[in-house]
Amino acid sequence: MEEKYNPYTIENKWQRSWEKDRLFKVDIQKDKEKYYLLEMFPYPSGNIHMGHVRNYTIGDVVARYKRMRGFNVLHPMGWDAFGMPAENAAIANKSHPATWTYQNIDNMRAQLKKIGFSYDWDRELATCQPEYYRWEQWLFLKMVEKGLAYRKESYVNWCDPCQTVLANEQVEAGMCWRCGKEVRQKKLWQWFFRITDYAEDLLMHCDKLPGWPEKVITMQKNWIGKSVGAEIRFPIIGGEGGDISVFTTRQDTVFGATFMCLAPEHPLVGTLSEGKEQAAAVNAFVERMSRQDRTAKAVETFEKEGVFTGAYCLNPMSGMEMPIYTANFALMEYGTGAVMSVPAHDQRDFDFATKYGLDIVVVVNHEGGDLIAEGLTEAYTGDGIMINSGSFDGMPNREAMEAIARHLEDKGLGKKTVSYRLRDWGISRQRYWGAPIPMIHCPSCGVIPVPEAELPILLPEDANLLEGGRSPLPELAAFAQTTCPKCGGDRARRETDTMDTFVESSWYFERYCSPDYDGGMFDKEAVDYWMPVDQYIGGVEHAILHLLYSRFYTRVLNDMDLVKYKEPFTCLLTQGMVCKETTSCPEHGFLLPNEIAEQDGVPHCTICGKAAVVGRVEKMSKSKKNVIDPNILLERYGADTTRLFCLFAAPPERDLEWSEQGVDGGYRFLNRVWRFAAACMDDIKDVSPYTDAPDSLEGELKKLYKKTHETIQRVTRDIEDRFHFNTAISAVMELVNALYAFDAPADAPERHRVVRFAVESAILLLSPIVPHFTEEIWEALGNSGSILLAPWPTHREDALAKDELLIVVQVNGKVRSRFNAAVDADDELLRKRALSDERVLKFIADKSVKKVIVVKKKLVNIVV
């Protein structure tokens, strides 16, 4: 064993050794229990960043730990390879997205290998490969068959100059992020997945995911957003039997509905105002609303406004004539797009009614109170007793909810129903770099699926990307022009939209089970063995979309009998962000690390020399210029220190704050272990570790032996139960400290064997965390075979047994003294010792003892 720890040579050595022996390759082994560990695969953006390093280190530790516990561990890695950055980079570099993507993949793969992650690289996949998206297209056709994929016209953010659809994130204050021109809402035909069919099932199973963080569960529940209420129809006056259907959760207040509000996009808005004097104003309002940025609008500053359509409807319960408005606070996407407005009991309706001088009718009176419409300054939204509600007067409103719903159903005026916030998943992207949607538009036959045998529909490689990100596919005749599979007509066109990249990431975990399978999406036997994923790890930013889509997709596969389970991920860990303080110069804004220089302990801007300001600790991001490149860490300290730091600085679910000193500390610890091992290696390399009962050991030896077993127990519990690697590491640090403090006579019997056991245990416990480092020492100890094939150590109960226990003595709950007592000391003995303790006597001298509480093996509390 070298005297000095040299991370570079040993990391190189072991990475090559693992690869040569193909140690991470796994196959189905029916006789072994499987464990599928998955980290969210990266988008191949070009470089691995600290967030990746943290995510994958956490996963790697668990994978290596589970392997040592005897599981057959599947731990794959791949690339979420379709997406916009590739297109943008290709436009900027005048190259092709595929070139850019594959270069990035090569680069990032090499980086990941340098960190020593234990992936089965034989299973690597990239979602932009035709062998992958072919099966996605196949499932799309199946979903069309089942009616789960469909086409409808819907509103999108559209930029005219750029001729493209923008994602919500690309609309900044109503303007296009690229050209700065106004974005408008445009109606386009788009493909959707009917995720709303599964809303109830997705919601119900939220409570059957005990291995998921509470936070993610509630986020999913809120996103699905179930409301129980009623649908009520309001006949349009003079509308020849037509009516307006509304959704409400407060059907008890229906007698108080005094006007109606329709979303500006509601189809009735145009027809109701048509030919009336209000028509022009209504059209102008609708037009103005369509230009409003619907995502970035600040609610607080958003004023409720609307215009009267000139039409009226009838309140079916109160018989009142209600004016019909179109208003900006009515949302087409929710419920039916129409709101029965009850100003007395809904704040929005109240604001609107006050503004436009509309009637207010109180129908729920609060307990013992006397609400009158005239005196109201705000809506009363609480519970109470029904008034002004015909035969329902006097009923508690909670009861009236049920009674009115029944009444409406009996009279055929409405029905009880539920509404969800969740909307169908729009998967069309007017983009090039994605999986083509396998459909054909024929002028005579309509929209026709591509025959299965023609899959995959390849994304043409010879496309030239266009300025502004506009998709070249519609203009690429070789791709777009085709013959109709039904009538054979040659005037058919391919669908030129591609699929949302979230579709690819909704089933990649199944593909990993049999990545080369060409008879379907996956080999059923492989999926039956490996799936579901036992532990999934990734950033909380995917708490809703990716995870919800994957749960939906899995249900679709389940309904088609392709898989046997409904939930793809049994346990989920969402790791926190990697953060660092920002530093900025009053003149030059955020500063890069190399633009900061210390002068008299104060950071200065090296561009202008002014004092720089150290700002908040924030997520590492290029725009904040507080990014640390993992490559620098790998060069300066090596992979093991980098891994150790990521795990030691914070528990995984919490944010991790970058600290130079923290990395140093980790490096120092490894060196400390190394030096100890190197110093005692000659003594211990040829002896077998002491693993017998502790009886024949004494004094220091027994103490160290016990400490070793305690450490094994603590580390195992910390990793197994809760992934608290930080405390696992600190437990090993304590053991190492104990080794340094160890002071048994040089000739004590069994000395070397006990030390060997301690050192070897520490190495084994650390091996999932710092695998190269521990391999090297493991080898030096004379062990044959890789440490990662060694079994995880287990503790002996008899070694943990204590001879004496420290008993705490409290007086009135305050600790006043401590003493050692035999393990089996009974209450009476403890009581006597406590009461005769000299320090305790000081506190009870002039008082009378009221009560003495004795807690076995722990403490005595004396109440005076």
Partner RNA sequence: GCGAGAGUGGCGGAAUUGGUAGACGCACUGGACUUAGGAUCCAGCUCUGGCGACAGAGUGGGAGUUCAAGUCUCCCCUCUCGCACCA
Of 515-574, which residues contact RNA (CB under 7 A)? 540, 543-544
Q: What is the distance between the alpha carbons of residues 114 and 635, in angstroms, rounded to a whole number?
A: 10
Can you tell me which of 138, 223, 356, 565 binds RNA, judged by CB under 7 A? Answer: 223
DSSP 8-class letter at 240: T
CB 681 within 8 A of CB 733: no
598 binds RNA (CB under 7 A): no
Can you tell me which of 308, 329, 507, 792 binds RNA, judged by CB under 7 A? Answer: 329
- Pairing mode, strands 498-499 and 428-429: antiparallel
Residue 370 to residues 354, 364, 651, 859, Cα–Cα distance (Å) = 20, 10, 55, 60
- The phi, psi pair for 176, rounded to 5°, reads -70, 135
Interaction residues for RNA, span 686-725 (CB under 7 A) = 717, 724
The strand pairing partners of 380, in sequence order, are: none
Can you tell me which of 110, 372, 829, 855 binds RNA, judged by CB under 7 A? Answer: 855
* End-to-end Cα separation, the chain, in angstroms: 63
Q: Which is nearer to RNA, 231 or 495 (CB)?
A: 231
Interaction mask 36-55, RNA, x per CB under 7 A: --------------------
Interaction mask 132-151, RNA, x per CB under 7 A: --------------------
Can you tell me which of 247, 432, 674, 778 binds RNA, judged by CB under 7 A? Answer: 247
Can you tell me which of 6, 99, 222, 444 binds RNA, judged by CB under 7 A? Answer: 222
Q: What is the distance between the alpha carbons of residues 382 and 361, in angstroms, rounded to a whole number?
A: 15
Among residues 581, 576, 574, which one has the least CA distance to residue 535? 574
679 binds RNA (CB under 7 A): no
373 binds RNA (CB under 7 A): no
Can you tell me which of 651, 687, 780, 786 binds RNA, judged by CB under 7 A? Answer: 651
| HEC assignment per residue over 261-321 | EECCCCHHHHHHHCCCCCHHHHHHHHHHHHHCCCCCCCCCCCCCCEEEEEEEEECCCCCCE
Interaction mask 729-768, RNA, x per CB under 7 A: xx--xx--x--xx---------------------------
Interaction residues for RNA, span 800-839 (CB under 7 A) = 806, 808, 810, 812-816, 818, 839
Interaction residues for RNA, span 20-39 (CB under 7 A) = none
Measured in whole angstroms, the distance separating CA 764 from the mean position of its chain's CA atoms is: 31
Closest separation between CB of residue 442 and RNA, Å?
37
Q: Which is nearer to RNA, 274 or 305 (CB)?
A: 305
* Number of neighbouring beta carbons within 10 Å of residue 87: 23
Closest separation between CB of residue 710 and RNA, Å?
9
Q: Which is nearer to RNA, 328 or 774 (CB)?
A: 328
CB 773 within 8 A of CB 7: yes
Q: Which is nearer to RNA, 189 or 302 (CB)?
A: 302
861 binds RNA (CB under 7 A): yes
Q: Read out DSSP for 421-478?
A: S---EE-EE--SSSPBP-EEEETTTEEEEPPGGG---PPPTTPPPPGGG--SGGG-HH
Interaction residues for RNA, span 202-221 (CB under 7 A) = 214-215, 218-219
HSE, CB side, 13 Å, CA atoms: give it for residue 302: 16
Task: Compute the radius of gyration of the chain from its Cα atoms.
Answer: 34
Q: Buried (b) or exposed (e) across 372-391, using 16+ Cβ within 10 A?
A: eeeebeebbeeebbbbbbee
Closest separation between CB of residue 524 and RNA, Å?
36
Closest separation between CB of residue 337 and RNA, Å?
5
Q: Which is nearer to RNA, 274 or 720 (CB)?
A: 720
Q: Which is nearer to RNA, 45 or 249 (CB)?
A: 249
CB 766 within 8 A of CB 640: no
Interaction mask 397-426, RNA, x per CB under 7 A: ----------------------x-x-----
Find the part of the chain contacting RNA (CB under 7 A) among 388-396, 492-500, 633-641, 850-858: 850-858
Token look-up 């996009």 returns 265
Can you tell me which of 533, 649, 715, 755 binds RNA, judged by CB under 7 A? Answer: 649
Q: What is the distance between the alpha carbons of residues 330 and 263, in angstroms, rounded to a whole number?
A: 4
Torsion angle, alpha carbons of 739, 740, 741, 743, to 10: 80
Residue 149 to residues 154, 439, 496, Cα–Cα distance (Å) = 15, 11, 16
Can you tell me which of 32, 267, 302, 802 binds RNA, judged by CB under 7 A? Answer: 302
727 binds RNA (CB under 7 A): yes
Find the part of the chain contacting RNA (CB under 7 A) among 300-308, 310-318, 496-504, 752-760: 300-308
Closest separation between CB of residue 249 and RNA, Å?
4
249 binds RNA (CB under 7 A): yes
Can you tell me which of 726, 780, 796, 835 binds RNA, judged by CB under 7 A? Answer: 726
Among residues 54, 215, 209, 66, which one has the least CA distance to residue 575? 54
Can you tell me which of 25, 288, 564, 654 binds RNA, judged by CB under 7 A? Answer: 654
Closest separation between CB of residue 214 and RNA, Å?
5
69 binds RNA (CB under 7 A): no
* H helix intervals, 122-173: 130-145
Interaction residues for RNA, span 253-292 (CB under 7 A) = 263
Interaction mask 113-132, RNA, x per CB under 7 A: --------------------
Closest separation between CB of residue 624 and RNA, Å?
12
